[in-house]
Amino acid sequence: MTRIQKMSLDYHFKVEQESGSFMHAFFGFNGTAGVWRVSAVKSELPSTFKAYRHQQHRWTCGAANLFRKMGWEIVTNKGVSIWKKWHLLYSFLFVRRVIAPILTFLFYCVVIPLSAMVPEVHIPVWGLVYIPTAITVMNAIRNPGSLHLMPFWILFENVMSMHRMRAALTGLLETAHVNDWVVTEKVGDLVKDDFDVPLLEPLKPTECVERIYIPELLLALYLLICASYDYVLGSQTYFMYIYLQALAFIVLGFGFVGMKTPCS
């Protein structure tokens, strides 16, 4: 999971921020301004899948809620050019923070598996292969040493898109959990080391039952049904991908990622 996070963060720092700075445009804010000690990087990673879910919920929900609350103020602001307003509202907030997680989940985890059971549904090759491949290459272009991890990154991001979609809708619609703020449990909270500032006491290991994530397992069941149907009764077009995606949901559904695994 550390290598997968590195790929996503490298795109943020090396592509989004550098291009935004070069064009004098808006880009994502991060509290540390991208300045890290090498020894601190590992300590700041989420220690469990649950912690990572909370972190991604905050980031996605916050951006979607910002789009809702600040959209009109940005439109009417006279100190910002029309081009920058368009970039900020449409590209930066609406497309990347709201539409992207919703589209990713619905397309890769719902539509493609369902199309295996409904032969009348035809997905054009440009939408199934060309565009996703281009997006994947753009995210990995600054990490040539991690190209072999791209399949795992894709499967992992598809799982996370379910949570990001829910977070985006929560922020956009301002539902009951829009102001939920759960501090991310970091690796540094679990490992004692010689730091200048004492670390918090490590949390007690979570019970096994709390490591089971029902939404992921339900999606895995749905994907297994679709893949099996495609393999036995369908055209055998998508079953390999759907089986792999189901496996990813199962692995994450039982919490087998992070520093603490089930029953540890």
pLDDT on residue 13:
72
Q: How many beta carbons lie within 10 A of that of residue 244, not counting itself?
A: 16
- Going by C-beta distance under 8 Å and a sequence separation of 6 or more, which residues neighbour residue 24? none
pLDDT on residue 101:
92
Tokens of 116: 């295996």
pLDDT on residue 15:
72
pLDDT on residue 221:
97
Measured CA to CA, the distance from residue 97 to residue 146 in angstroms comes to 25
pLDDT on residue 43:
62
- Going by C-beta distance under 8 Å and a sequence separation of 6 or more, which residues neighbour residue 50? 185, 206, 211, 213, 255
Measured CA to CA, the distance from residue 261 to residue 254 in angstroms comes to 9
Rounded mean pLDDT for each run of 10 residues along the chain, 264 residues in total: 73 74 73 56 70 87 91 91 90 90 93 88 83 77 76 90 94 86 66 46 54 92 96 89 96 79 54
Measured CA to CA, the distance from residue 74 to residue 89 in angstroms comes to 8
Residue 212 has phi, psi (to 5 degrees) of -95, 125
Half-sphere exposure of 2 (CA within 13 A, CB side): 10
One-letter amino acid identity for 127? G
Which residues of the chain form beta strands (DSSP E)?
none
pLDDT on residue 35:
57
pLDDT on residue 214:
93
pLDDT on residue 153:
87
